[in-house]
Amino acid sequence: MKRVITFVAVLSVLVASVVACGGPSKAEIAKQSARDEAIKKFSSLRNDSPSGAQAEELSVQILSQLASVDLTLDVIGTNGDELTKFIQEGWARDARVTLRSLRDMKALPEQAKTMKLQFVDESRRSEKVLANFGTSEAELNNIVNRNALEFIQRNGGRPTPAQYQAAGLPVPTITKTRTIVKRVPAKPTTAATRTPRKSAPKPAVRTGG
């Protein structure tokens, strides 16, 4: 019985202490929740290799969550420059994937044009130049023109020399071939195969009477 009384007494002291000190306010709880969520999103941004669009979305969510409770990026150990760097890295990853797909494309001229524009946009968003990706405007144009040339060939057409040059390909040389007719010598006529002459009929012998 004494133990029960002692326990109740200790519990009462603890409850009174909590009431006196006051628990965390709603504002503090909201700040802690926003901070924890921002940390999760920042970890995903830093470690999950998101695409450029995904990185931008994560960055916006991080900034919005912290701003809603009057917190800054300092509370999660980062800053605006680092967020921008992760976004640019995401667009650079996208650009590399797009360029590989563009180089592998064959006989699809319209898709090649679209993908070229997509790559240029992604490289621009990554704040890099074409040379950083090992390519150039000339190569991109050659790829598009090569797809147009292959499309013509696949459909039974014959590309012009200008189309070969636009694709950065050598113009094939057309070799004219002459058909040589061999003359077969006439076989000599032999005695065995010679047609015998017909002998003239002998004149009739007249007898006297």
Q: For the chain, give every domain's residue range.
A: 25-78, 91-172
Instruction: Dump pLDDT digits (tens) for 83-109.
Output: 999 999 999 999 999 999 999 999 999
Question: Of 90, 1, 107, 111, nearest to 45 (Cα)?
Answer: 90
Mean pLDDT of 147-172: 85
CA 67 → CA 45, 71, 125, 137, 174, distances in Å?
A: 18, 5, 25, 42, 71
| pLDDT value of residue 174 | 66
Among residues 120, 61, 48, which one has the least CA distance to residue 89?
48
pLDDT digits (tens, 9 = 90+) for 32-74: 999 999 999 999 999 999 999 999 999 999 999 999 999 999 9
Helix (H) or strand (E) holding 160: none
pTM for the model stands at 0.69
